[in-house]
Amino acid sequence: MSAHCQLTGAKPGFGNTISHSHRRTSRRFDPNVQRKRYWLPSEGRRVRLTLSAKAIKTVDAIGIEAAVVRIRARGGKV
């Protein structure tokens, strides 16, 4: 599963791990991405979305219908 949110577009960030001796090694900061199923009443089916934790809260606030409209406006497939 790629660490990419369908609603917010959150992707991994990159940086360095700095050790006690101040050596730097590459690391990756992944967003908190979960797979979640929602019932989409307008289409009469369930949809499975890959969402960050922040996006799950957004769906709870605006509703699944509005969230699907936003995902499709970004060019995403639902």
Q: Is the dihedral of CA 76, 68, 4, 14 positive or negative?
A: positive
Question: What would the pLDDT profile of 4-53 be if each residue is shown by its tens digit?
Answer: 999 999 999 999 999 999 999 999 999 999 999 999 999 999 999 999 99
Our CA dihedral for 46, 72, 43, 78, rounded to 10 degrees, sits at: -30
Its pTM stands at 0.86
